[in-house]
């Protein structure tokens, strides 16, 4: 059998090797089991490279057309689920090229001219992540849109605001919801700013030293594949995985934001609070306690944040000691990236489902408000009478202590009780004991008044539309 005829049975790197690979090492080394999900991107990159080889006089127009058409057939087999993986297929690149050779013959062997799996895999990964980032952007926008819509609709519901998990000041339910939506809007902005750093073309860098063939137009390849820029240093291009790290960092932070809202809603859905209730679609029951309605969806959102962070920290430890340029350690880049993409994409959709279907109980929220939460309003009343805040804070604190001694609500103190603490208290102090008035006074930009909350809704909508 000639070397040419044996093409489909030889590894791309096998020319200098006479022995066989340890079967365990082959299994340890292979990546097709997981990198096959980049089959479409690998084919797109190969087709663009075939078009570029025409300008280098490596391929004729007819050879290029034959390769492009053959790759279309390979891609269709992946779509149809009919692609047959062979035992010697190490990765998606060798699998696709092997199948292309079976379909169109020896001309397939020209496709790899001047190209290495080093620049090929980096190109595939960037293409794949660009596609996924655009899909994730849509899911993230949908999440914020749902939160903004609920905030507008439920703007009149009041509830306690908490610091240190202690009742602090009255707020609008919408204000709480938008506080989380603002985190996600920032995540969206970070994702959008990150896309140009993914969209850097490695193809045409060869294994590390660059492409040797006259006429190799990397700018044309970038335009063909939709990359915004071209890698400026071939050594960097084949080994750079900062875009993977940055995505894992982004996904970790976004997952933490999902965890934060999940924790709030777990607390507020408990019987002790009863502010919200999750729909049956996002809860489960207990195997032994029939009364239970467990917020599993939220608990999983909280737990998945640790999973994504673990993927990030694990890959960074793999990356930190690698010398220039490509080393096999970099094969550890794909599984963390794939898993983080899957996890954050699913998490965003679950969060959107939870928030769009949950019920709120405004009366329970309002019933949890107590007038001691208006102690700051009492201090602010005296500020408006000309007393410095540090002094009014002390006076208001004394009023709280007095109410505790009398075992009554702060609002139950009489005018005489208050005037015993400061002669600045007048009849109009009784207007302080209104939760609606309290939130209404927080009218500065970013506050919890009705106008300020609706303004936040408008701001977030504009950010989504950018």
Three-state secondary structure of 173-209: HHHHHHHHHHHHHHHHHHHHHHHHHHCEECCCCCCCC
Domain with 138 in it: what CATH number? 1.20.200.10
Answer yes or no: is pLDDT of 6 > 70.
no
Residue 438 in domain: no
Residues 323 and 300 in one domain: yes
Residues 306 and 179 in one domain: yes
Average per-residue pLDDT in the chain?
Answer: 93
Residue 260 in domain: yes
Alpha carbon of residue 452 to chain centroid: 28
Residues 184 and 270 in one domain: yes
Residues 80 and 154 in one domain: no
Maximal C-alpha separation, the chain = 108
Structural domain span for residue 26: 5-113
Q: Which of 113, 137, 155 represents a domain boundary (last residue)?
A: 113
Number of domains in the chain: 3
Residue 310 in domain: yes
Domain with 48 in it: what CATH number? 1.10.275.10
pLDDT-derived band at 269 (thresholds 50, 70, 90) equals: very high
pLDDT tens digits, one per residue of 209-243? 999 999 999 999 999 999 999 999 999 999 999 99
Prediction pTM value: 0.91
The pLDDT score that the predictor gives to residue 28 is: 81
**Those residues with Cβ within 8 angstroms of residue 388's Cβ, 6 or more apart along the chain or in another chain:** none
pLDDT-derived band at 93 (thresholds 50, 70, 90) equals: very high
Torsion of CA 405, 410, 414, 418, to 10 degrees: 80
Q: Report whether 74 contacts 100 (CB < 8 A).
A: yes
Residues 10 and 155 in one domain: no
Task: Give the burial class of 365: count Cβ atoms within 10 A of its Cβ; 0-12 exposed, 13-18 middle, 19 or more buried.
Answer: buried
pLDDT tens digits, one per residue of 410-460? 999 999 999 999 999 999 999 999 999 999 999 999 999 999 999 999 999
The pLDDT score that the predictor gives to residue 22 is: 76
Q: Which of 367, 386, 419 represents a domain boundary (last residue)?
A: 367
Lowest mean pLDDT among 30-34, 179-183, 261-265, 267-271: 30-34
Residues 337 and 389 in one domain: no
Residue 462 in domain: no
Q: Which of 367, 396, 414 represents a domain boundary (last residue)?
A: 367
What is the C-alpha end-to-end distance of the chain, expressed in Å? 61
pLDDT tens digits, one per residue of 277-327? 999 999 987 667 766 789 999 999 999 999 999 999 999 999 998 999 999
What is the 8-class DSSP label of residue 284? B
Lowest mean pLDDT among 16-30, 100-114, 182-196, 255-269: 16-30
Residue 49 in domain: yes
Q: Which residues are catalytic?
A: 164, 286
Answer yes or no: is pLDDT of 18 > 80.
no
Residue 219 in domain: no
Residues 183 and 288 in one domain: yes
Tell me the average pLDDT across 136-149.
98
The pLDDT score that the predictor gives to residue 19 is: 57
Residue 260 is encoded by which pair of tokens? 């934060």
Residue 292 in domain: yes
Residues 171 and 264 in one domain: yes
CA 343 vs CA 41, 335, 347, 349: distances in Å: 21, 12, 6, 10
**Those residues with Cβ within 8 angstroms of residue 157's Cβ, 6 or more apart along the chain or in another chain:** 172, 173, 174, 360, 362, 365, 366
| Cis status, amide bond into 94, omega within 30 of 0 | no
pLDDT-derived band at 16 (thresholds 50, 70, 90) equals: low
Q: Report whether 111 contacts 100 (CB < 8 A).
A: yes
Higher pLDDT, 16 or 196: 196
pLDDT-derived band at 11 (thresholds 50, 70, 90) equals: low
The pLDDT score that the predictor gives to residue 26 is: 74
% of the chain surpassing 70 pLDDT: 95
The pLDDT score that the predictor gives to residue 287 is: 67
Tell me the average pLDDT across 49-71.
98
> What is the rounded distance in angstroms from the CA atom of residue 455 to the CA atom of residue 86?
59
Residue 248 in domain: yes
Residue 307 is encoded by which pair of tokens? 């999973």
Residues 419 and 356 in one domain: no
Residues 133 and 238 in one domain: yes
**Those residues with Cβ within 8 angstroms of residue 78's Cβ, 6 or more apart along the chain or in another chain:** 36, 39, 40
The pLDDT score that the predictor gives to residue 5 is: 44
Identify the top-confidence range among 15-24, 27-36, 77-86.
77-86
The pLDDT score that the predictor gives to residue 7 is: 44
Residues 59 and 145 in one domain: no
pLDDT-derived band at 17 (thresholds 50, 70, 90) equals: very low
Residues 311 and 400 in one domain: no
């Amino acid at each position: 059998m000639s070397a040419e005829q044996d093409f489909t049975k030889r590894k791309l790197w096998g020319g200098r090797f006479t022995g066989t690979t340890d079967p365990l090492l082959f299994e340890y080394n292979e990546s097709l089991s997981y990198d096959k999900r980049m089959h479409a991107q690998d084919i797109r990159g190969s087709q663009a490279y075939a078009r570029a080889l025409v300008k280098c006089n490596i391929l004729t127009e007819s050879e290029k057309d034959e390769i492009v058409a053959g790759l279309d057939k390979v891609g269709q087999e992946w779509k149809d689920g009919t692609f047959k993986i062979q035992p010697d297929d190490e990765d998606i690149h060798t699998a696709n090229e092997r199948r292309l050779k079976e379909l169109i013959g020896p001309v397939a062997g020209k496709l790899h001219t001047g190209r290495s799996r080093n620049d090929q895999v980096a190109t595939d990964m960037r293409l794949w992540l660009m596609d996924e980032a655009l899909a994730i952007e849509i899911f993230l926008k949908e999440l914020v849109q749902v939160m903004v819509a609920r905030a507008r609709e439920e703007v009149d519901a009041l509830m306690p605001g908490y610091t240190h998990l202690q009742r602090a000041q009255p707020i609008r339910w919408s204000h709480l919801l938008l506080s989380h939506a603002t985190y996600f809007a920032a995540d969206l902005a970070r994702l959008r700013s990150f896309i140009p750093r993914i969209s850097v073309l490695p193809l045409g860098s060869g294994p590390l030293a660059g492409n040797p063939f006259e006429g190799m137009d990397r700018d044309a390849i970038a335009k063909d594949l939709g990359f915004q820029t071209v890698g400026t240093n071939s050594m960097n291009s084949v080994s750079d995985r900062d875009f993977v790290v940055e995505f894992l960092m982004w996904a970790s932070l976004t997952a933490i934001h999902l965890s934060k809202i999940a924790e709030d809603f777990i607390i507020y859905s408990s019987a002790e609070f009863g502010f919200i209730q999750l729909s049956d679609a996002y809860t489960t029951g207990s195997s032994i306690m029939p009364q239970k309605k467990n917020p599993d969806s939220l608990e999983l959102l909280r737990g998945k944040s640790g999973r994504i962070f673990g993927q990030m920290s694990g890959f960074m430890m793999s990356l930190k000691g690698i010398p220039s340029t490509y080393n096999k350690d970099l094969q550890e880049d794909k599984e963390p990236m794939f898993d983080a993409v899957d996890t954050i994409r699913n998490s965003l959709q679950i969060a959107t489902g939870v928030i769009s279907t949950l019920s709120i109980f405004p009366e329970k929220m309002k019933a949890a408000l107590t007038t001691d939460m208006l102690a700051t309003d009492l201090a602010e009343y005296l500020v408006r009478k000309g007393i410095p805040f540090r002094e009014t804070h002390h006076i208001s604190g004394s009023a709280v202590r007095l109410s505790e001694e009398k075992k009554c609500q702060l609002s139950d103190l009489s005018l005489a009780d208050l005037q015993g603490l400061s002669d600045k208290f007048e009849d109009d102090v009784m207007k302080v004991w209104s939760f609606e008035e309290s939130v209404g006074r927080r009218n500065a930009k970013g506050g919890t008044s009705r106008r300020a909350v609706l303004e936040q809704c408008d701001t977030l909508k504009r950010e989504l539309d950018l």
